[in-house]
Structure 1
């Protein structure tokens, strides 16, 4: 299993490199950081703009390939991802934001997977009953509603709860209250700020897992291997939990590679709506600010998230599918 995961890991490293490199060339060809310099007051001369860009590693006289070689050399030799048009170092900005986004996405992904699979099993065990119809209907609704709209509705609901109660229970913007002293109060404040965006991402994300788990489990409930297990003396619930559930989870585990990046992409909008200074909001700002290096760094982060999701999917598949372990 370790050899299998190692081979897959090498493939994903190559994928991250190629994706990031392609993203850099795309950013260089479409983003024009010199435009921000030209809009300064007093308006600088073309020579001043060019000199400012050179100091930040964004020499406009170099072609795309030459800029790429210099950028890649800085990463390989010094782990230097360059600077933004405003002079800020990408490394420092990225280090602050990546921890904020990772904490939010990690909690949301874990809750999404657990709740989605559990509700899928729950609804499959109650096929066509009231509970099944309610849960599955919500899942389809969450699946088709655009994520930004769903996040906004959750935020609006939290605001209405605060107004109804007459005090602030949920924080709908920001990651913390300024001026909090370290300790228990700061920890509680952090959880209060995490609650609404985490709930929003989870409510939107678990629908696809619930639908998939329910369908795959129902497809295997009456399979030959389940009937064979029952013929050997197992009850229906024992046969389903020991055999059908494990088989039905294989395709769900494989889908983790795609649903985690989807949650990550939706989290970009969540950060913007809930005013979280994470990688998501930074990437959106990078496009509007013509920031080539920041846009490429966020793309690299997204590629790493996809690779981690794929590795997690491969690992989960090897645990539940003995055929993969044998191969």
Structure 2
């Protein structure tokens, strides 16, 4: 019952925060320089003053900012996010087409970075001064310092020209079937490079974080007690030490979910990945306000859902949190 009440409180807080996000994004985007009517007219090859005025009336740009804001909030409350200025189709349809690709990319990068980074950190913590630990430390610093777009470009050049064994653009090959195992394999092959690019920075962070926390855990009294009982080393590390090490990793993973979405904008642009990040990039260039606002809104929803899920995972990782809640 306490868990249900906790989730309901979090959902209520998330609703208020989403409303604030809607208002703030609307004001910031409309305060930015640029006129969507001019961009639309430019795509049409130029237009007269009458056509420009008609475009502003059609999209409600002739109204005051306050009127536009309340009109927009009223439509969002009914699930209407408007029409795209550039694509000239419902924004929800665009989001529905693009969001699966971004979730594939972001969740794959998060899974790889958490698993591989934690594994490297745990192994290097057993011998902190060993060659493997020092190598992981150096590679982590390099991976953390390299910008995402630079890493993507280097992988693009490496596997596009020097060693062309992986597809470097798009999500699928147009010549392959669009269903069955062959389609799944095709998507996975296209996913390797963008997911690796996005994961490398976070692998470095999780390896450093898990290494430091595992070193502390291995010197704790409960670990020494477990070893004194004669438990196998894999049980001592996996059941006792690793469980406490996972708490800060789960925390950081939940907080960095939003950063993964931000990095996806660059990665999707480099690799022409048809996701929400690429849609954001195109919408910014074309002043497509409805599409940009909808993408930001759904990104906020996903990040908040990830934070609530992270809060619930605490209770699975650490029984002390469940006891404190009761």
| TM-score, normalising length: structure 1 | 0.89
Maintained 8 Å contact 2:85/2:290: no
Alignment of 1:37-76 (within 5 A): 37-39=40-42, 43-55=46-58, 58-76=59-77
Find the counterpart in structure 2 of residue 178 from structure 1: 174
CA shift at 1:161, angstroms? 4.8
Q: Which runs of 5+ in 1 are unaligned?
A: 164-168
The answer to whether residue 275 in structure 2 is matched with residue 278 in structure 1 is yes
Alignment of 1:10-89 (within 5 A): 10-30=12-32, 31-39=34-42, 43-55=46-58, 58-77=59-78, 79-86=79-86, 87-89=88-90
Change (3 A) 1:194 1:80: same
SS in 1 for 2:89: coil
Separation in 2, partners of 1:13, 1:137: 43
Change (3 A) 1:118 1:62: same
Separation in 2, partners of 1:219, 1:249: 13
Change (3 A) 1:146 1:46: same
Q: 1:212 aligns with which of 209, 217, 220?
A: 209
* Cα-Cα RMSD: 2.2
Maintained 8 Å contact 2:144/2:200: no
Q: Which runs of 5+ in 2 are unaligned?
A: none
Find the counterpart in structure 2 of residue 324 from structure 1: 321
Find the counterpart in structure 2 of residue 268 from structure 1: 265
Moved more, 226-235 or 25-34: 226-235
Find the counterpart in structure 1 of residue 11 from structure 2: 9
Deviation string 1:108-163 (CA, Å, 9 cap, x unpaired) is 21122111111111111231211111122211211111111111112222124535
Moved more, 27-36 or 139-148: 27-36
Change (3 A) 1:106 1:294: same
Deviation string 1:274-308 (CA, Å, 9 cap, x unpaired) is 01121101101111111111111121122123213
SS in 1 for 2:267: helix
Find the counterpart in structure 2 of residue 251 from structure 1: 248
Separation in 2, partners of 1:293, 1:103: 24
Change (3 A) 1:188 1:80: same
Moved over 6 A (4+): none
Maintained 8 Å contact 1:53/1:85: no
Maintained 8 Å contact 1:5/1:314: no
Deviation string 1:173-227 (CA, Å, 9 cap, x unpaired) is 1111224334443333222222221222222321111110111111222123333
| TM-score, normalising length: structure 2 | 0.89
Separation in 2, partners of 1:188, 1:244: 37
CA shift at 1:254, angstroms? 1.1
Find the counterpart in structure 2 of residue 131 from structure 1: 132
Moved more, 234-243 or 212-221: 234-243
Find the counterpart in structure 2 of residue 166 from structure 1: none
